[in-house]
Amino acid sequence: MGLVGAVFRLAAMAAATIWLTGCMTAAVGPEHPGTRVRYKSPDPQKWIGSQSFGDRRATFRCRPLACPELSIVSIRTSASPTRSPDPQALQKFAQESAQREMTKAEEASAEGGNRVRDLSLLSTRVANVKNFPAVHWEYQGSSADNKTVYIVRKMMFAGNSAIDIISSSLGLEVARRNSNDFVGVLEIEDFAPPAVAVARPLKSAALAVPAGWGPPCRACSKFGV
């Protein structure tokens, strides 16, 4: 099945989506450290979607004729390996994982209704998205009906959550714009755990001076005292 047929068929079947929540904790606030991520369609008249609660993933499809090119956006949340990625480690991950992560982007395209094949990496970089560190990848591939498909992927590390946004379209600029639109309506509430107090070292007992004792007499040494 081609990308056109898949998008139109699935768009007709998908239910309208309001707010969807991933990586949600029971309560998030200053007294309840954690991260809550909420996402939705940036334009309900343009996008319709469905959510898989089992793996905290939502798929949005642009309504027929509502986008200049056929477009799909998927969002998945998971636990972040760390609250504060090291910049050098993140840059290394972006470069060394580009090929491996390409497989996940291919799988996401299949879940959207049409597997993209022959993917190749166009670019990779580390960015700051909504004040959180992120990796930005762009790929190019081919659909089953030999159309060129572009995938723009952002992986954000927001507190305790990793947010994976994969935007695919027949146009690169359209895929980029759709990605930015969905990032723009992300709501992220993050409260870090309180800092651990560092205990001050106790004074050595050998340095303690008994009560009533004054400073040592410097003149006593002259008299052998």
State residue 6's pLDDT score: 40
Quick: pLDDT tens for 204-225.
545 444 455 455 555 444 444 4
AA letter at 144: A
- Separation between Cα atoms, residue 139 and residue 170, nearest integer Å: 12
pTM over 0.75: no
Share of the chain above pLDDT 70, in %: 68
What crossing angle do the helices spanning 87-96 and 98-111 adopt, rounded to 10°? 70
Quick: pLDDT tens for 155-173.
999 999 999 999 999 999 9
Closest CA to 16 of 47, 53, 52, 37: 47
- Separation between Cα atoms, residue 163 and residue 96, nearest integer Å: 19
Quick: pLDDT tens for 175-188.
999 999 999 999 99
- Separation between Cα atoms, residue 86 and residue 101, nearest integer Å: 19
Closest CA to 85 of 133, 151, 29: 133
- Separation between Cα atoms, residue 41 and residue 184, nearest integer Å: 10
User: Is 200 a domain residue?
Assistant: no
User: Is 115 a domain residue?
Assistant: yes
User: Is 205 a domain residue?
Assistant: no
User: Is 66 a domain residue?
Assistant: yes
User: Is 216 a domain residue?
Assistant: no
State residue 53's pLDDT score: 62
Q: Assign 146 a pLDDT band (cuts: 50, 70, 90).
A: confident
For the residues 25-51, what does the mean pLDDT come to?
82
Give the CATH number for residue 116: 3.40.1000.10
User: Is 217 a domain residue?
Assistant: no
Domain count of the fold of the chain: 1
User: Is 142 a domain residue?
Assistant: yes
Look up the domain containing 130 and give its range. Answer: 3-195
User: Is 186 a domain residue?
Assistant: yes
